[in-house]
Chains A and B, each alone.
Chain A
Amino acid sequence: QVQLQESDSGLIKPSETLSLTCAVSGDSINTGGHSWSWIRQPPGKALEWIGSIYHSGSSYYNKSLKSRVTILVDRSENQFSLKLTSVTAADTAVYFCARDKNIWNHGVFDVWGLGTVVSVSS
C-alpha cells in the first residue's frame, strides 16, 4: 500500500523559506508512471495546486506561485521536496503531498499524505 508522509515545518517567520519533504513508501519514484505533487489548503479555504514533478525530473508550477516554488526529487531517499521562498501570512496552510493515478490520468490524485500544518507568523 502506497503511503506518503510530509515532514514537519511548523511555525516559520515572514520572508523565510518553507522547506518540506514527502517520503514515499510502498512505491518507487524511480519506476515512473506517476507524477508527484504538492497541494495546499489555507484555513477554511479551498485546495490549491502548488506544482508537480514528473519521473523525468521535469517540474511544473502554479503560475501564481512559480517565482517562489521549487519541487525536486531525491531518488536515493525515495522522496520529493518543496521549497517556497519569501513566505507571508498568506502561505499559512495545510500542505499535502499527493501522487496521481497513472500516466493516463496525470493530475488525478488518488494517494494523499495526511498533510502538515504550516503557520507563518512573526
Chain B
Amino acid sequence: EDKVVQSPLSLVVHEGDTVTLNCSYEVTNFRSLLWYKQEKKAPTFLFMLTSSGIEKKSGRLSSILDKKELFSILNITATQTGDSAIYLCAVIKAAGNKLTFGGGTRVLVKP
C-alpha cells in the first residue's frame, strides 16, 4: 500500500527561525511529489517536484526531492507568523491522478 509519512507532527518556532519539514514516501510508479499549505481553508499549492536534486524556490520557501532515498524536505527561512499552517505533502503516481497525502506537519510561528 502506498504510504506518505511526514515529520515532525508539529512544531513551534519563533519569528525569524528556520524550519525544515520532512516527507518520506513508499509508492510504486512514482511520478511527482507536491507540497501544499493549509490554513483554515483550501490547501494552497506550493511546489511540485519531479526530478531528484533540483531545488525549487519561492521567496522564503524552498524544497528538494531525493528519489533515491525517497524523501523530500520543505524549508522555510526567516519564518513569520503568517507561515503558521499545516503543511501537507502528497505524491502522485505515473498512472492515474489521485494524490496520496501524508498526515501533515502543523507549524506554529510565535511572534
Task: Indicate, yes or no, whether A interacts with B.
Answer: no
Q: Which residues of A contact B (CB under 8 A)?
A: none
